[in-house]
Amino acid sequence: MDAGGPKGKAKSDINVTPLIDIVLVLLIVFIVMVPGLDRATKVVVPQVVQTSKPSPPDPNNILIQVDQDGTLMLQSDKIDVQGLKDRLPDAVLLQPLNYRKVFLKVDEDVRYQNMVDILDAIRVASDDAKKKSLEQIDKFQGQDGGDIKVAVSLRKRAGAAVPVS
């Protein structure tokens, strides 16, 4: 075993054996991993189908519209916020379990407070629907329908200019 250089001094040369071991291990790792990097997931992009006329609305979907003057419409009936709180739970219970949805179309000029009131009415209706479905738990085989999911759409006026930031 060689402990040093001439006259018992320490050797200043580095030991390349561990370095070669590490380089070989890294080389093997990269050789194994490179073929796996070339694989790509094939994606099928859906094609857009153009129809000449829109399909009729689904009767299970609940549509609430708010015009710029604050007029509230449930499906095609004019209604106020209190009437919405009264009628929406029954309409929601007619929807299938776990698919309770409300579509909300709002004009861009509607005051923010009106929107908060309407969303609060939908939340209250969701709670009432849950209570009613729990009362009829045998009918639904022990499953609650869950919360109402709300999809909000903002309607812009036809001639309105869009602000550019």
Q: Is residue 108 part of a domain?
A: yes
The amino acid that residue 105 corresponds to is: K
Q: Is residue 16 part of a domain?
A: no
Half-sphere exposure of 75 (CA within 13 A, CB side): 12
Q: Is residue 143's pLDDT more than 60?
A: no
C-alpha to C-alpha distance for 128 and 162, rounded to whole angstroms: 39
User: Highest mean pLDDT range out of 21-25, 54-58, 106-110, 148-152?
Assistant: 21-25
Q: Is residue 11 part of a domain?
A: no
What pLDDT is stored for residue 69 in this prediction?
A: 81
* Burial (0-12, 13-18, 19+ Cβ within 10 Å), 66: buried
Question: Using an 8 Å Cβ cutoff, are 105 and 155 in contact?
Answer: yes
C-alpha to C-alpha distance for 122 and 105, rounded to whole angstroms: 13
Q: Is residue 165 part of a domain?
A: no
Q: Number of folded domains in the chain?
A: 1
Q: Is residue 109 part of a domain?
A: yes
Q: Is residue 5 part of a domain?
A: no
Q: Is residue 163 part of a domain?
A: no
Average per-residue pLDDT in the chain? Answer: 75
pLDDT, tens only, 80-136? 888 888 888 888 777 776 677 888 888 888 888 888 888 888 888 877 777 776 666
